[in-house]
Amino acid sequence: MSTTSNAPKKNGIVEWIDYRLPIFTFMNHELREYPTPKNLNYWWNFGSLAGIVLVVMILSGIFLAMNYTAHVDYAFVSVERIMRDVNYGWLLRYIHMNGASMFFLVVYIHIFRGLYYGSYKPPREILWWLGLVILILMMATAFLGYVLPWGQMSFWGATVITNLFSAIPLVGEPIVTWLWGGFSVDNPTLNRFFSLHYLLPFVIVGVVMLHLVALHTHGSNNPLGIDTKKNPKDSIPFHPYYTVKDMFGLGVFLVIYAGFVFFAPNFFGEPVNYVPANPLQTPSEIVPEWYLLPFYAILRSVPDKLAGVIAMFGAIFILFLLPWLDSSKVRSATFRPIYKQLFWIFLADCLVLGWCGAQHPEGAPLLIGRLATAYYFLHFIVLLPLVSKFEKPRPLPESISTPVLKTEKA
């Protein structure tokens, strides 16, 4: 076991291929010797976890599609057939259903990790943008997929979300008709949603590749938020140190994921979606899946239709400006006493918005939702620019090794 030498083993066939298509050199460079900061904590597990969940979603989805029928008369029954008659169909569907929730959970943690440690700051702005593009594609894919079982919530969720576009002045109505392919959510809508739901995950894979290229250009950020290229002692090879750490995290994650799949498969779902779609009857309450609730709360807290839609989309698009709204040179919140507090308040604000999104928009929840929406934008537009200007950050260590050595002396 010569684990210390990180070079790939010599092998005639491998060398023959590698000379013509340098895939093994590439893999060795990006997955084995890729220099990684030595101080990454467990919050850095969630990027690779997200990638693995994406693969699980694509695989389970491909097999579900083999038994699914995208037609208003058969969609609901075909899903029930998957649940009752198809061998292990129930397992595939529960993996896919809960996988969507797990995907968002993992990605939201990954994003908040980036917010805390300033991973969006130079030179990683495009890396951050690509991540946001992935988030938007994920939301679109999840929404399209939720429509496919053609239950009541599928139908009415599709109706409400597509109607958001009717808020656009002048061209709103023709756009909605174009999205539907008719005058209401109907068979043409279901067909195209299935087509797009199958397409978008592969688009996500493409953007993930770009995300990785951007990541590997300047390497991972780290909990101290300092550049590690200056000191060679600050980096360790990705394999075996982080492959092992990622695998361990994956094991823990799979326990939780499997727990939902096998013991609470409908925990995240809405019971009313087991009622077949009825275009003539709206369910008493239309609620999106949990991962969209904060945005739904923002939509509903603005009394004007168009302004509400703008606020909801603005809540995501403002994140693209984050590298400029937060102009502090210091990345990690560890060294930013005021930003650190703002981060936790902002996280709480997002959770409050999520809670409001699940409530009936009247009385106290409506008022709380409005305040939380106001704070969401206040955080980005007012607080972050001011704090990044006036905050006095704590002194940064020169390298990752330095603070460790100091504590050893003391």
Does the protein bind another protein through residue 361 (CB under 8 A)?
yes
* Interface of this chain with another protein, residues 82 to 141, rule: CB under 8 A: none
Does the protein bind another protein through residue 285 (CB under 8 A)?
yes
Options 11, 25, 41, 184; binder of another protein; rule CB under 8 A: 184
Does the protein bind another protein through residue 235 (CB under 8 A)?
no
Options 22, 122, 271, 279; binder of another protein; rule CB under 8 A: 279
* Interface of this chain with another protein, residues 140 to 169, rule: CB under 8 A: 156, 159-160, 162-164, 166
Q: Is 227 a catalytic residue?
A: no
Q: Minimum distance between the CB of residue 154 and another protein, rounded to whole angstroms? A: 14
Residue 52: other Cβ atoms inside 10 A: 16
Give dist(CA 395, CA 337) in Å, integer: 11
Q: Is 220 a catalytic residue?
A: yes
Q: Minimum distance between the CB of residue 52 and another protein, rounded to whole angstroms? A: 34
Q: Minimum distance between the CB of residue 201 and another protein, rounded to whole angstroms? A: 21
Nearest CB to another protein, comparing residues 14 and 164: 164
Nearest CB to another protein, comparing residues 177 and 401: 177
* Interface of this chain with another protein, residues 191 to 220, rule: CB under 8 A: 192
Binding residues for another protein, total number by CB under 8 A: 33
Angle between helices 187-218 and 125-147 (to 10 degrees): 160
Please classify residue 305 by burial: count the beta carbons closer than 10 Å to its beta carbon, then call 0-12 exposed, 13-18 middle and 19+ buried.
middle
Nearest CB to another protein, comparing residues 51 and 361: 361
Q: Is 18 a catalytic residue?
A: no
Nearest CB to another protein, comparing residues 3 and 284: 284
Dmax (CA) for the chain in angstroms is 75
Does the protein bind another protein through residue 53 (CB under 8 A)?
no
Instruction: Name the one range near another protein by CB under 8 A: 15-23, 42-50, 125-133, 181-189.
Output: 181-189
Nearest CB to another protein, comparing residues 160 and 207: 160
Place of tokens 């908040």: 112
Does the protein bind another protein through residue 73 (CB under 8 A)?
no
Does the protein bind another protein through residue 22 (CB under 8 A)?
no
Out of 245, 301, 332, 399, which one is annotated catalytic?
245
Out of 289, 332, 349, 379, which one is annotated catalytic?
289
Of the candidates 344, 343, 328, 326, the one whose C-alpha atom is nearest the C-alpha of residue 392 is: 328
Q: Is 166 a catalytic residue?
A: no
* Interface of this chain with another protein, residues 297 to 326, rule: CB under 8 A: 300, 303-305, 308
Give dist(CA 79, CA 81) in Å, integer: 5
Residue 8: other Cβ atoms inside 10 A: 15
Options 177, 231, 243, 401; binder of another protein; rule CB under 8 A: 177
Does the protein bind another protein through residue 281 (CB under 8 A)?
yes
Q: How many residues does the chain have?
A: 410
Beta bridge partners of 235: 37
Residue 314: other Cβ atoms inside 10 A: 15
Interface mask toward another protein for 362-381; x: CB under 8 A: x-------------------
Does the protein bind another protein through residue 42 (CB under 8 A)?
no
Nearest CB to another protein, comparing residues 270 and 326: 270
**Contact residues for 348 (Cβ-Cβ < 8 A; gap 6+):** none
Q: Is 216 a catalytic residue?
A: yes
Instruction: Name the one range near another protein by CB under 8 A: 52-60, 140-148, 277-285, 379-387.
Output: 277-285
Out of 48, 60, 119, 220, which one is annotated catalytic?
220
Where on the chain is the footprint of another protein (CB under 8 A)? 156, 159-160, 162-164, 166, 177-186, 188, 192, 279-282, 284-286, 300, 303-305, 308, 361-362
Return the active site residues. 216, 220, 245-246, 289
